[in-house]
Amino acid sequence: MSKKRILICNRGEIAIRVAKAIRELGHIAVGFYTDNELEASHLEYCHEWVHLVGSGNTETYLNIEQILNVIKEHKIDAVHPGYGFLSENTKFSKALEDAGVTFIGPHAEAIHKMGDKAISKQMAKDAGVPVVPGSTGEIDSPEEAATIAKDIGYPVLLKAVAGGGGKGMRICHSEEELSKNFEAVRREAQSSFGNPGVLVEKFIVNPHHIEVQILADTKGNIYHCYERECSVQRRHQKIIEEAPSPFIGDDEKLRNNICQTAIKLAQAVNYNSAGTVEFIMGEDKSFYFLEMNTRIQVEHPITEEITGIDLLANMIKGALGEDFDFKSQDEISIRGHAVECRICAEDPVTMLPAPGQIKGFEFTFPQGIRFDHCIYNGLEVKSDFDPMIGKLIGAGHNRNVVIRKMRCAIESLMIEGIKTNTQLHEVILHEESFVSGHYTTNYIAEIEPQSKVEDRVSDEEVIKRILSYEYSMLMDN
């Protein structure tokens, strides 16, 4: 196939990862820079740079009209959206389709149906996929929500129809809490997603967040790449993921059941790209459909590590009508274990964003560690963007080996000048419940690893390490 000019509509570590895949496949990677990020780290991995005029995300990465003009002017053949921004925007996907440009993601109808929680839940039910008991569509009033809650039993979860990333969600343990939170969720839903629609569902106590990676081509073939456990979360947002799930363990019957269920849903919407079907699993190992993310996930590297499947490369190949690197489901198997720690510019105790300038960056990782990041010495971490600046991924023969490697890696990672959550990860990687694999989505609230974070390195030692790092940089130059 001839070289394609592929535009990366994203930034940060995922833009770097996409650019690497584009180059590997022999195509031309085109990247954006904005007035707010003139020296974006992903640009050195791209063949060409294009100026996206503006500073804020609304003016740049979310500006469909400007991006379409860039696509036309620079004769772009295909667009990879990464995750976030326009990756699950039906209007953008349809606009590319109308312009004859390949969207490296699913077709617009799949994005629409899976992006609407009410529609996706009904589709799942129609396909025979188990769903969490609750409303089948939007609810209009707290009284209607209370009627449903009385039928399915408390606690219940109020959540935005168009939600994601943990926004627009409230747990309610009584009718009083339900009434109190209803309008608050509607306001948050409108503010975050432009849609005030709300659902009510049964809240599963002590749940596990299990998701299945799907990879489908444009020829009707749909495969799974097994599951990931994403139960270590704060504010419904993941911070540590691992594959395969320690909760499922060696229960291959359950593993096959949940993976085939994910394929069943993907078939129902004629899915044709990389995607993730998310489930909530109870203590009794019964599982229910939550949502489908119609894009590549932040945590895709751990699936790549245990299967050997390059998800980004195959996602691009599939969108361009090429065959995948494998020919059947039988060629995809689990080998060993992998864990990912999201490295964020956050206070390790409050877990709130902590932007600033990185003044020192150094690491000495053990064998088996992968670090997908956009960090460099002098990087200005801005409040405009997500606080995640990297993903530390460890792979090994089994879970115990990987935890050992990850402990060594997180202790050797030095990022100075800003607060990061590395100390929080260090605590979790030594904490008994996590090490044993016996944890749920309540982990942060119940175990409170953030309360065990300590300043392990004195101010004098920090200064010493920074000076040592800067001296080594001068010597290298």
DSSP 38: T
Could you tell me where the beta strands, DSSP code E, fall in 397-437? 414-416
Indicate the Cα dihedral angle 120, 122, 124, 129, nearest 10°: 150
Q: Residue 393, Cβ neighbours under 10 Å: how many?
A: 24
Which helix H or strand E contains 303, and what residues bound it?
Answer: helix 300-307
Backbone angles phi, psi at 50, to 5 degrees: -125, 135
Angle formed by the axes of helices 252-268 and 117-126, nearest 10°: 110
Question: Active-site residue among 295, 342, 370, 399?
Answer: 295
Q: What are the distances in angstroms from CA 184 to CA 168, 169, 237, 360, 413?
A: 8, 10, 20, 42, 40
Pairing mode of beta strands 28-34, 414-416? unpaired
What residue spans of 52-207 are helical by DSSP H? 64-73, 90-98, 108-115, 117-126, 142-152, 175-193
Would you call 186 a catalytic residue per the annotation? no
| Cβ-contact 279, 296 below 8 angstroms | no
CA distances in angstroms from 163 to 117, 189, 475, listed in the order given: 8, 7, 50
* Catalytic positions, written as ranges: 295
